[in-house]
Amino acid sequence: MDAGFVGIDRLVRAGHVEPGQRDRVIFLWDEIRRLKREKNAFLPAHNYQLPEIQAVADYVGDSFELAVRARDINAGLVVFCGVRFMAEGCHTLAPQTPVYLPSLKALCSLAEVDADDVAERQEFLRSLGRNFATMTYVNTYADVKAMSDACCTSSNAPRIAAGLGAPDILFVPDQNLAYQVAIKTRRMYLPPPEANRFHAAEYRAQIEPLIRHGERQGLVGNVFAWEGACHVHHQMTVDDIARIRAQDPQAVVIVHGEVKPELQRAADEVLSTSQMARYVAAHPEKSRYAILTECGLVVRMELDHPEKQFYKPCRLCQYMKANDLESVYETLRDEPADRRITLPEGVRQGAARAMLRMIELAA
Ligand code: SF4
């Protein structure tokens, strides 16, 4: 999406900027724009970023759109308004361009996966004689991406799984998106082992009856889910949806693929963040929505569509909100060495291979 979607008056009226901060925000926007011109800098922003950051960004999108955009970057430097794995992904695909992250606290609970644990799980599947491919959600760090056959995002995960050509998929790390992949590609969903308690014999006893059940049903294969979840989406409950349905049966309920399977089944649509934005824009006849994802996207939808009503069972991600306009400005101005994203070259190349495979299969 092109940025610059909203002016200061609407942000103040909607309560996103305190009236006393109005002049400061205008000053920062002007300075950021001046520095962008002088340094030929590029500012991508994720859909979950604060509205005053989205308003001054050069490009706003979901993880897949940001990855594709990174591949084509032609700039003097990048200040990536998102979380660390996204900035890493940008550096992975644009290694010639310095990439900075405004806040070192912009991390992600889902992305904290140990590469040694992934290697252990792959070895376990080989020991069972499974014909599998490893898919990593882009919400991982580069060392884990480098261990996979392809990355995916919530907008393209089923398509990537279908394109990889293996009956079984080891899906790392989001267990809920793994469910979505299984349903959409006619594979058996194999629930993850308990977090931090992988025990090969126990896990084998847990999954083998399910594998046989899937075989009797004639399914394509299996999706081995990892024991990860986004703490923001995983805390949403079916009661969140039930309350909306009881209050307003006509409201359209849209959930992100990172919510639990029972919510995915209860929703009208399961979409990525940019797909949600496009869905709302494409349906002028539908005026009331409940969007179950991080609140940043819902805030932008309210600003984009003042004529529509949005219920707010959304949740805030503290990592996405670690960046603010001040830190974006300082990073662009000072280019602090500790906020520059770098990777060992071998790891970067491995992650680039998996990300480019995703882009190729998603086309
Ligand atoms: S919303 Fe969830 S997946 Fe996204 S950055 Fe926050 S913790 Fe990570």
Same domain, 133 and 219: yes
Residue 348 maps to a domain: no
Going by their DSSP bridges, the two strands 99-100 and 150-152 should be labelled as unpaired
Conformational region of residue 128, where left means phi above 0, alpha means psi within -120 to 50, and beta covers everything else: alpha
pLDDT digits 0-9 by tens, 229-264:
999 999 999 999 999 999 999 999 999 999 999 999
- Per-residue pLDDT, 5: 64
By the 8 A CB rule, do 124 and 112 touch? no
240, part of any domain: yes
* Tokens representing residue 342 in the block: 């770098």
* Residues 119, 207 share a domain: yes
How many angstroms separate the alpha carbon of residue 141 from the centre of ligand 1? 13
Ligand 1, atom nearest to 48 Cα: 1
| Confidence at residue 226, expressed as pLDDT on a 0 to 100 scale | 98
Mutate which of 317, 318, 321, 323 to test ligand 1's pocket (most atoms within 8 Å of Cβ)? 317
CA–centroid distance, 82 to ligand 1, in Å, is 10
**Ligand 1 nearest-atom number relative to CA 317:** 6
From 62, 64, 107, 110, the mutation candidate for ligand 1 (largest count of ligand atoms within 8 A of CB) is: 110
Domain count, the chain: 3
Q: Write the residue with the smallest CA distance to atom 8 of ligand 1.
A: 108
| Angle ∠(218,219,223) on CA atoms, nearest 5 | 155
Which atom of ligand 1 is least distant from the CA of 293?
A: 1
Answer whether residue 2 shows pLDDT above 80.
no
Tell me, what's the pLDDT at 332? 98
What is the share, in percent, of the chain residues with pLDDT greater than 70? 99
Q: Is residue 281 part of a domain?
A: yes
| 177 and 122 within one domain | yes
Within this chain, do residues 166 and 253 fall inside the same structural domain, yes or no?
A: no
Nearest to 52 by CA among 3, 101, 107: 3
Whole-number Å distance, alpha carbon 331 to ligand 1 midpoint, is 22
Residue 194 lies in a domain: yes
pLDDT in tens, 100-150: 999 999 999 999 999 999 999 999 999 999 999 999 999 999 999 999 999
Does residue 73 share a domain with residue 21? yes
Q: Is residue 53 part of a domain?
A: yes
Percent over 90 (pLDDT), the chain: 94
pLDDT band at 197 (very low <50, low <70, confident <90, very high): confident
Reduced to 3 states (helix: H, G, I; strand: E, B; else coil), residue 222 is strand
Q: Which atom of ligand 1 is nearest to the CA of 111?
A: 8
Instruction: Please give the number of the atom of ligand 1 that sits closest to the Cα of 294.
Output: 1
> Domain span at residue 89?
8-107+320-342
Same domain, 77 and 152: no
CA of 274 to the centre of ligand 1 (A): 15
φ and ψ at residue 307, rounded to 5 degrees: -80, -10
Which residues are near ligand 1 (CB < 6 Å)?
83, 108-110, 139, 230-232, 294, 317, 319-320
CA atoms within 13 A of residue 200's CA, in its CB half-sphere = 10
What is the atom index within ligand 1 of the atom nearest the CA of 83? 5
Cα of 293 to ligand 1 centre, how many Å?
A: 10
Which protein residue's CA is at the shortest distance from atom 3 of ligand 1? 230
Pair 176, 260: CB distance under 8 Å: yes
Using one digit for the tens of pLDDT, what is the confidence trace for 199-223?
Answer: 999 999 999 999 999 999 999 999 9
Centre of ligand 1 from the C-alpha of residue 61, in Å: 15
What residue owns the CA closest to ligand 1's atom 5?
A: 108
Report for 38-47, 60-69, 299-308: range of highest mean pLDDT: 38-47
Q: How far apart are CA 163 and CA 182, in angstroms?
A: 14
Q: Are residues 183 and 253 in the same domain?
A: no
Find the CATH number of the domain harbouring 95: 3.40.50.10800
Question: How far, in Å, is the centroid of ligand 1 from the Cα of 110?
Answer: 6
Residue 1 has pLDDT above 60, yes or no: no
160 found inside a domain? yes
Q: Ligand 1 centroid to 109 CA: how many Å?
A: 6
Instruction: Give the mean pLDDT of 169-182.
Output: 97
Closest residue CA from atom 2 of ligand 1: 230
If asked whether residues 127 and 215 sit together in one domain, one would say yes
Whether the pLDDT of residue 3 is over 50: the answer is no
State whether 22 and 70 are in the same domain. yes
Q: What is the DSSP code (8-state) at residue 38?
A: H
Answer yes or no: do 216 and 272 share one domain: no
146 touches 350 (CB < 8 A): yes
- Per-chain mean pLDDT for the chain: 95
Write down the pLDDT at residue 249.
97
Q: How far are the Cα atoms of 54, 90, 203 from residue 351, in angstroms, in the given order?
A: 27, 11, 28
> Whole-angstrom Cα distance, residue 290 to residue 241?
8
Which tokens belong to 44? 């991508």
Q: Which atom of ligand 1 is nearest to the CA of 139?
A: 3
- Angle CA(304)–CA(307)–CA(308) in degrees, nearest 5? 85
Average pLDDT over residues 62-87: 95
Å from CA of 103 to ligand 1 middle: 15
119 found inside a domain: yes
14 and 80 assigned to the same domain: yes
CA atoms within 13 A on the CB side of 133: 18
d(CA 235, CA 252) in angstroms, rounded, equals: 20
Q: Are residues 100 and 75 in the same domain?
A: yes
The reply to whether 36 falls in a domain is yes
Q: What pLDDT digit, counting tens, does each position of 257-308 carry?
A: 999 999 999 999 999 999 999 999 999 999 999 999 999 999 989 989 999 9
Q: How far is the CA of 248 from the centre of ligand 1 (A)?
A: 28
- Please give the model's pTM, rounded to 2 decimal places: 0.94
Which of 208, 228, 248 terminates a domain? The answer is 228
Cis peptide before 306 (omega within 30 of 0): no
* pLDDT for the residue numbered 358: 97
Whether residue 30 has pLDDT greater than 90: yes
pLDDT tens string 303-331: 899 999 999 888 999 999 999 999 999 99
pLDDT at 195 > cutoff 80: yes
